[in-house]
Amino acid sequence: MRDQFPDFRLGNVLATSFTATLTERHGNAVERIPTPQRLVDWLAVNGLAVDSCTTAQLEFARELRESIHAVATATALQDTLPPSAIQIINDCSIQGRAAATLTPEGNRQWRLGSESCVEDALSVIAADAISIIAGERDGKLALCASPTCQAAFFDTSQSRTRKWCDMNTCGNRQKKARFKASHRKTGTGTPTGTT
């Protein structure tokens, strides 16, 4: 049943994994949280389990997502940050209740104020976005070099020269396109049977 929905693109940065639930924003966009249940699934995978989600909450989540995308993109481009998007991120961060707890193994685990409250989970995502946008973490916001993607991602590579949001998708596609192009060139340049 769930197989009919697009897979999640999971990275190790919560806020940009969340913005990656909509991909190919400048091409044929793929919505990876098309239903409230898929948002519930995504939150569970990311350690923010809630037991239900309404359509209104899904819409609210998408509003936060696009706000994070807008502010992260402006940050990567060193543009002025859009005030309305900042407002939404701040509202989300303030509204939700969530506490960081420590597991016996020494890992961080989020305890939401209420498991029926998607807003609590969204506040964790909003706070994560704030920390990367504010430059509190080691890394740099950048935009994917794929023209149809242009997703904002958090580059933690030593040289800060990562080009693609995801090596397995955008990076791989680019590599394949380059390979094809060079193959074509070689093909016309050296016709077969001339040696």
Residues that bind Zn ion (CB under 5 A): 144, 146, 149, 151, 165, 170
Q: How far is the CB of 153 from Zn ion (least distance, A)?
A: 7
The smaller minimum CB distance to Zn ion, of residues 33 and 124, is found at: 33
Q: How far is the CB of 20 from Zn ion (least distance, A)?
A: 8
State the sign of the Cα–Cα–Cα–Cα dihedral 24, 166, 136, 49: positive
The smaller minimum CB distance to Zn ion, of residues 95 and 140, is found at: 140
Q: How far is the CB of 36 from Zn ion (least distance, A)?
A: 26
Q: How far is the CB of 146 from Zn ion (least distance, A)?
A: 4
Which helix (H) or strand (E) segment holds residue 71: the answer is helix 55-77
Helix (H, G, I), strand (E, B), or coil: what is residue 97?
coil
The smaller minimum CB distance to Zn ion, of residues 117 and 149, is found at: 149
3-state helix, strand, coil in the chain (%, to 5): 50, 10, 40
Under 8 Å between Cβ of 100 and 161: no
The smaller minimum CB distance to Zn ion, of residues 122 and 144, is found at: 144
| Residue 147 main-chain phi, psi, to 5 deg | -60, -30
Instruction: Extract the tokens encoding 12.
Output: 């190790």
Under 8 Å between Cβ of 31 and 22: yes
Q: How far is the CB of 170 from Zn ion (least distance, A)?
A: 3
The smaller minimum CB distance to Zn ion, of residues 118 and 149, is found at: 149
Cα(79)–Cα(89) distance, integer angstroms? 17
